Each structure stands twice: as C-alpha cells, then as structure tokens.
C-alpha cells in the first residue's frame, strides 16, 4: 500500500531521505488523515486518542 499511495517510481538520493519520507508519510498522512475501514472509518490517531481517554477514565 505504501508503494502505491506515495512512492511508486520515486527514486531517493540516499537511504536516509527514503527513511525520512516513509516516516513522514506514516506520521503525517497514514496515522492522522487516512481513514481505515477496520477502525470504523476513523484514523489510527483518533482511535488511539479514544483509547487513551478510556484508560485515563478507568484509572
């Protein structure tokens, strides 16, 4: 999925630049903007925030 959505046919000058681009894609787009059907069409960040809130209330 990562290859098809972001980096298909893209060449990086160094491995460090490739690692940074992948990390940025995951943190900025995949976790915060992309909706996931298995999460009820919510973002992973939203699900995680909801989970943290429930844990804090239970403590």
> Cα(19)–Cα(36) distance, rounded to whole angstroms?
23
- CA dihedral (41, 45, 31, 38) positive or negative: negative
The pLDDT score that the predictor gives to residue 16 is 96
Q: CA angle, 6 as apex, 19 and 26 as ends, to 5°?
A: 55
Q: What is the mean pLDDT of residues 23-29?
A: 87
Banded pLDDT at 3 (limits 50, 70, 90): low
| Domain residue limits, the chain | 35-59
pLDDT value at residue 28: 87
Q: What is the pTM of this model?
A: 0.62
Instruction: In whole angstroms, give the CA distance from residue 20 to residue 40.
Output: 29
Question: 32-45, pLDDT tens digit by residue?
Answer: 888 989 999 999 99
């Amino acid at each position: 999925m990562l290859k098809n959505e972001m980096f298909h046919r893209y060449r990086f000058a160094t491995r460090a630049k490739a690692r940074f681009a992948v990390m940025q894609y995951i943190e900025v787009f995949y976790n915060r903007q992309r909706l996931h059907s298995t999460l009820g069409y919510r973002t992973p960040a939203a699900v995680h925030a909801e989970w943290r809130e429930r844990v804090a209330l239970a403590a």
